């Protein structure tokens, strides 16, 4: 059975792992639409994700040539939204109702399951405000694939690594069975 998923990619060093996430979702017969934040484009190109997903990657709220409400069409397309990696920034923006780019607007307009797979430095992950934002999102039905402990981009060891891709895919697959 084919399912539609939006994969949001945020500006984290873990953005390179979104390539494998998209590849694995496609192997499981998901139709994947990628939304790439401007900061994520510093780590991974739209072209790479477009080739793997087989669809254009959205990076801007409105198409420059034709007026389209891409965030609404994306929200209507999706059965699930996965944000991986989810940064402290995106978690805070969603928890606060801020909708200032295509990803946050699509999430705001979407009525189905939203899954966040955080990835950040352990100090950011353990920050009380980040934790409050995660708890707030969970109270509102957002689902979290928690980060794992391991070597971080800073060279330090701590909790903040993006969860294993297999764990994220399994989480999404289970939602697809609901």
Q: Note the pLDDT of residue 176.
A: 61
The predicted model scores a pTM of 0.94
Reported as a single tens digit per residue, the pLDDT across 80-130 is 999 999 999 999 999 999 999 989 999 999 999 999 999 999 999 999 999
Residue 14 is given by DSSP the state: G
Q: How confident is the model at residue 67 (pLDDT cuts 50, 70, 90)?
A: very low
pLDDT: which is higher, 174 or 69: 174
- Helix pair angle (46-53, 18-27), 10° resolution: 10
Domains in the chain with CATH codes: 3-176 (3.40.50.1950)
Residues 6+ apart with CB under 8 A from 27: none
> Given a cut of 90, is residue 162 above it in pLDDT?
yes
The residues that bridge with 151 in the sheet, in sequence order, are 157
> Given a cut of 70, is residue 149 above it in pLDDT?
yes
């Amino acid at each position: 059975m084919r399912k539609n998923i939006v994969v949001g990619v945020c500006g984290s060093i873990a953005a390179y792992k979104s390539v494998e996430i998209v590849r694995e979702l496609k192997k499981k017969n998901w139709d994947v639409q990628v939304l790439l934040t401007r900061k994520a484009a510093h780590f991974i190109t739209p072209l790479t994700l477009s080739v793997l997903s087989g669809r254009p990657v959205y990076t801007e709220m409105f198409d420059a040539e034709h007026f389209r409400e891409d965030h609404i069409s994306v929200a209507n397309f999706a059965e699930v939204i996965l944000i991986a990696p989810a940064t402290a920034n995106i978690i805070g923006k969603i928890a606060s109702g801020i909708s200032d780019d295509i990803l946050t607007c699509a999430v705001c307009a979407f009525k189905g399951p939203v899954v966040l797979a955080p990835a950040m430095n352990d100090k950011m992950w353990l920050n009380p405000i980040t934790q409050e934002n995660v708890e707030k999102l969970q109270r509102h039905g957002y689902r979290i694939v928690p980060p794992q402990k391991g070597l971080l981009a800073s060279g330090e060891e701590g909790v903040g690594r993006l969860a294993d891709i297999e764990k994220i895919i399994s989480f999404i697959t289970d939602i697809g069975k609901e």
